[in-house]
Amino acid sequence: MSVPRFWRKIPQRYNLIGTQCTSCERRFYPPRSFCPDCRRSGVIEPYRFQGKGEVVTFTVIRSASDAFEQQTPFVLAIIRLDEGPRVTVQVVVEDVSEARIGMRVRSVFRRIGTEGESGVIHYGTKFVPDVPYAE
């Protein structure tokens, strides 16, 4: 990924910044600049998602592209954020057999990948199971 391409998406990758239509309150991630329901009467503004959601479905990646082969096996899931939109994102679990449809998850800040040994480091959002800490 080119440096400008990564840099442009930093707000979305770090902080789950999407958009919402203030006319109908529909929320979008990745951000949309036009509401398909309200069309010209829709007013779009940035919206920060809270980073909580639920696994809709998932797959286990055991044979990944070069950039991700050091992380295999890992869980790639479609998560429905509590505010509505669905995102495709990695879920970090110690054992891939822990992943379940319907599992509650929360966002964390992690390394997504690097451009080799000397290129930029891509940071962003992954999810982990949303389990309470022991008392």
Q: Which residue has the tokens 């429905």?
A: 80
Q: How far apart are CA 94 and CA 31, in angstroms?
A: 31
Helix H or strand E encompassing 130: none
For other proteins, the closer CB: 40 or 133: 133
Q: Is residue 108 within the footprint of other proteins (CB under 8 A)? A: yes
Q: Is residue 92 within the footprint of other proteins (CB under 8 A)? A: yes
Q: Is residue 14 within the footprint of other proteins (CB under 8 A)? A: yes
For other proteins, the closer CB: 38 or 76: 76
Which tokens is 66 given? 């070069």
Which residues sit at the interface with other proteins, rule CB under 8 A?
Answer: 10, 14-15, 48, 70-71, 92, 94, 108-112, 121, 123, 126, 133-135
